[in-house]
Structure 1
Amino acid sequence: MTCFMQRKGEYPMVFVLDTNKCPLAPCHEAVARKLLKQGKAAIYKRYPFTIILKEIVDNFRPKTPYRLKIDHGSKHTGLAILRGQEVVWLGQLDHRTDIKERIDKRRAFRRARRNRKTRYRKPRFLNRRRKDGWLPPSLESRVQNIQTWVNRLKKLCPIGYISYENTKFDTQLMRNPEISGIEYQQGTLQGYEVREYLLEKFGRKCCYCGKENVPLEVEHIIPKSRGGTDRVDNLCLACRDCNQRKGSQTAEEFGYPHIQKMVKKTLKDASVVNATRWKVYEVLKQSGCEVECGTGARTKMNRIRLDLPKTHYFDACCVGESTPNHLYFKTKEVLFIRAKGRGSRSRTNLDRYGFPRGYLARQKFFFGFQTGDMVKAVIPRGKYQGVWFGEVSCRKTGSFDIKGKDGKRIAQGINYRYVQVIQRFDGYTYRREGMNIA
């Protein structure tokens, strides 16, 4: 039997601030529309939608603090705000996955500069120290995204409690569910070096052509340039000729799908959660709210009991022991938040060979707009006549483009005079979608 209810006619709840920008209890969309129409409130923020009152109203004083629930994941983090059995807001935070690639590209360009006939830059090696608790930038970005949105939601809603899924993944057990006893303690390479392990595993011959009694090289089944790792499950042996001909192809693309099947599913996402889970917990403790930790098993049990689909925002509703026996959804929309970053320090666009193919402007704002602002464009005539909503791409000529939800251009060459800002760019992009309960 389904243990949740969607109240008929319910719409997204609206966050409310008082005249001093202190958070009040969220209200129904119809109430917010009435306040805006009567001039008693103004729009403070579009994403998440928030109004600010122009006069003191006691009806919105919260009786009890709200609870923010967080389902921490490698690529996506679910967010939910509850008051008792009522779910008043749902969100999904999509983390950046391009940071490592961008850092590698920047490193390659800097090293190339040192070898060209330009101003010499002395390389820095071991003259920098890492602070205690240092995390790689790709992982630190995930922690900071969660910290940013916890602080933002605290400013919009009277949150007093936080429930956080502090899960640890056993990567060795995930690779081999049957492992136990002393084998669990010793691991895969007990008694071996990597090369000797591979020689014995593949019978001291090339995995591709089968040559024996020739020099063999350790080779990546999925190349590192394609997302492969140095894990022993992704390594095999190949003669020099096969290794050179394979290049940056995977084993399957090279014509050996049976070798490709030997590679087990990557555990990169599980490793990311393991590496950041306590850092996120420390950040949540600093927020000043009472933090409750829950396990992944309890989250799954609550989700099955409530008969909810497997999504990140529904998982967030089920985190922790505080999950009620019934859930009443006072919202039917989910806010999807994607971390985008704030641009690049590089002012030159380069081709794949490292040669400049274009130069970016030295300023961010053009005619009061910057790329990424959420705008409304009212175009009186021409090919794009009508009203358009989306992100703006600015040019110093004053001819702007409007991008839709999918990132594609929906209107091009729009004069800046027809454009007005809805919300300033803050490093994230937003889209609203209906709640999927099917």
Structure 2
Amino acid sequence: MSNFVFVLDTNKQPLDPIHPGQARRLLSSKKAAVYRRYPFTIILKHLSLEPNSTPSQIKIDPGAKVTGLALLQGDKVIWGAELTHRGFAIRDALLTRGSFRRGRRSRKTRYRQARFLNRTRPQGWLPPSLLSRVENILTWVKRLIKFCPVSSIVSELVRFNTQLMQDPTRQKEGYQQGTLYQYEVREYVLEKWGRKCAYCGVKNVPLEVEHIHPRSRGGSNRPSNLTLACVPCNQAKGNQDIRDFLSSKPDLLKRILSQAKRPLADAAAVNSTRYALLNALKKLGLPVTTGTGGQTKYNRAVQGVSKTHWHDAALVGETPQLQFLTNNPLLITAKGHGVRQRVITDKYGLPKQHRGRFKLSHGFKTGDIVKASIPKGKYAGHYDGLRIAIRTKPSFALYPKNGGKQFDTHCKYLNTIHKADGFAFSFVGGDSSSA
């Protein structure tokens, strides 16, 4: 089943989302029109005299790479989405730009000198790579509030470490081994080691949390001393020192020891943005409650739900036995709104090509989703949901679904169905487009 459809009355006031079949009947009988493609929203052509407004709840499972979103009416999950962030891409772009600047200065080219680091940052400042995650989530929460009568928001605040917040006096083992120890720490280890055996690399088998330095030899329960092992590897290692167990595999030994010391970058990103997101959600004026990562995993285990980001979002916080009325979430990918860079550089950071000054031409903008009806030529036919890139000439580039070969066509054959908003959209079934 697909996501429920959002409904607006003639005054653009949100009504309860409806089943896709009911939306099709309203559209076919000309009682409603399509208002927005993503998320799919229709607008009624008459005023609703008795607007129904069942309280809905937005649930959020924030992640460093992917954030799960779910919309619930009581115990029914009627809409789901997975939002893929571009934070790491932003970080890499900033690092590349910084390396180019340093390289130009070291070559003593005509370039400005580095400024003194005497600029103060405002309280609560976040780097662009982290701020983009907060703003992406906030953008979609505001959209859901605009298209649906929402009464409250639930967000997962802390993914792994909750014991210190519950009891600041806990220390050492008492801090680690709290009421949700088995859920919090195991989830951390699963994420850190990629849900596969660290010794043989096998996936999709029962995995055990294994001590790199055995406890019988003085090893601790700290997450930095934990890894994942399948049952055969765990039994073969026993209480051996890892250096003895992997004496014939020095490369694997070096990788495991290095990865054990490396902090989980994704967890660090979530921890850095958790309160910024919470404060931003509170400013929306709706009641906001929080849940923990261990609680989410416990709910998933009790209800027997498969692990996906949008399933986790639906299971955040205090959750009754859920009914999933949709199994085809909207997949959203943050693409940004282009770049301000006016000069394309080569791998050395030297100018190679100039970018165009304008993004808008003949009423179209790069990133728009269009419907094309091409009457003749090699690519004659009807196309729906294609992303375009404008040119200085009226012949624009079209990007077919599923990564097909791009082709050009004249703008007179195009009709916009969704304006560019910095996101790409697709579904599990493969239907995709972007804006």
* TM-score bracket relative to the smaller structure: 0.7 to 0.9
For residues 35-434 of structure 1, the aligned pairs below 5 Å read 35-58=26-49, 60-62=51-53, 64-96=54-86, 97-112=88-103, 120-170=111-161, 180=172, 256-265=251-260, 266=262, 267-321=264-318, 323-325=319-321, 327-388=322-383, 389-406=385-402, 408-434=403-429
Does the aligned pair in 1 maintain the 2:3–2:80 contact within 8 Å? no
Aligned counterparts of 1:422 and 1:32: Cα–Cα separation in 2: 18
CA RMSD in angstroms comes to: 2.7
Q: Count residues in correspondence.
A: 348
Does the aligned pair in 1 maintain the 2:160–2:292 contact within 8 Å? no
Query: How far did 1:296 drift?
Result: 1.3
Does the aligned pair in 2 maintain the 1:169–1:271 contact within 8 Å? no
Query: How far did 1:53 drift?
Result: 1.6
Give 1:29's aligned residue.
20
Give 1:16's aligned residue.
7
2:158 is paired with a residue whose SS is: coil
Aligned counterparts of 2:111 and 2:292: Cα–Cα separation in 1: 53
Query: How far did 1:290 drift?
Result: 1.0
Aligned counterparts of 1:297 and 1:354: Cα–Cα separation in 2: 46
How has the CA–CA distance of structure 1 residues 183 and 148 changed in structure 2, closer, same or farther, with 3 Å as cutoff?
closer
Does the aligned pair in 2 maintain the 1:332–1:434 contact within 8 Å? no
1:426 is paired with a residue whose SS is: coil
How has the CA–CA distance of structure 1 residues 304 and 60 changed in structure 2, closer, same or farther, with 3 Å as cutoff?
farther
How has the CA–CA distance of structure 1 residues 373 and 45 changed in structure 2, closer, same or farther, with 3 Å as cutoff?
same
Query: How far did 1:118 drift?
Result: 7.0
Query: How far did 1:54 drift?
Result: 2.0
1:254-289 CA-partner distances (Å, limit 9, x unpaired): x94442332125411111111111111111111111
Aligned counterparts of 2:282 and 2:36: Cα–Cα separation in 1: 27
Query: How far did 1:357 drift?
Result: 2.8
Aligned counterparts of 1:150 and 1:401: Cα–Cα separation in 2: 32
Q: Which moved more, 1:89-98 or 1:380-389?
A: 380-389
Does the aligned pair in 2 maintain the 1:79–1:92 contact within 8 Å? yes
How has the CA–CA distance of structure 1 residues 256 and 295 changed in structure 2, closer, same or farther, with 3 Å as cutoff?
closer
Aligned counterparts of 1:57 and 1:168: Cα–Cα separation in 2: 42
Does the aligned pair in 2 maintain the 1:46–1:422 contact within 8 Å? yes
Query: How far did 1:59 drift?
Result: 5.6
Q: Which moved more, 1:357-366 or 1:32-41?
A: 32-41
1:326-367 CA-partner distances (Å, limit 9, x unpaired): x22222321011111111111121111223332211001122
Aligned counterparts of 2:287 and 2:275: Cα–Cα separation in 1: 16
Identity, % of aligned positions: 46
Aligned counterparts of 2:274 and 2:156: Cα–Cα separation in 1: 9
Aligned counterparts of 1:31 and 1:168: Cα–Cα separation in 2: 38
Aligned counterparts of 1:11 and 1:311: Cα–Cα separation in 2: 16
Does the aligned pair in 1 maintain the 2:80–2:310 contact within 8 Å? yes
How has the CA–CA distance of structure 1 residues 297 and 115 changed in structure 2, closer, same or farther, with 3 Å as cutoff?
closer
1:98 is paired with a residue whose SS is: helix
How has the CA–CA distance of structure 1 residues 274 and 120 changed in structure 2, closer, same or farther, with 3 Å as cutoff?
closer
Report the AA paired with residue 379 of structure 1: I
2:112 is paired with a residue whose SS is: coil
Aligned counterparts of 2:51 and 2:324: Cα–Cα separation in 1: 20
2:329 is paired with a residue whose SS is: strand
How has the CA–CA distance of structure 1 residues 353 and 120 changed in structure 2, closer, same or farther, with 3 Å as cutoff?
closer
1:65-108 CA-partner distances (Å, limit 9, x unpaired): 10001111111110000001211100001111211111122223
Does the aligned pair in 1 maintain the 2:11–2:47 contact within 8 Å? no
Aligned counterparts of 1:42 and 1:430: Cα–Cα separation in 2: 21
Report the AA paired with residue 263 of structure 1: S
TM, length-normalised to structure 2: 0.74
1:39 is paired with a residue whose SS is: coil
Does the aligned pair in 2 maintain the 1:402–1:409 contact within 8 Å? no
Give 1:228's aligned residue.
none
How has the CA–CA distance of structure 1 residues 60 and 431 changed in structure 2, closer, same or farther, with 3 Å as cutoff?
farther
Does the aligned pair in 1 maintain the 2:159–2:294 contact within 8 Å? no
Gaps of 5+ in 1: 1-9, 174-178, 185-231, 234-254
How has the CA–CA distance of structure 1 residues 168 and 334 changed in structure 2, closer, same or farther, with 3 Å as cutoff?
closer
Report the AA paired with residue 136 of structure 1: P
Report the AA paired with residue 358 of structure 2: Q
1:278-331 CA-partner distances (Å, limit 9, x unpaired): 11111111111111211112111111122110100001111111x112x22222
Aligned counterparts of 1:183 and 1:403: Cα–Cα separation in 2: 52
Does the aligned pair in 2 maintain the 1:384–1:411 contact within 8 Å? no
Query: How far did 1:116 drift?
Result: 7.0
Give 1:239's aligned residue.
none
Report the AA paired with residue 43 of structure 1: V
Query: How far did 1:50 drift?
Result: 0.4
Report the AA paired with residue 373 of structure 1: D
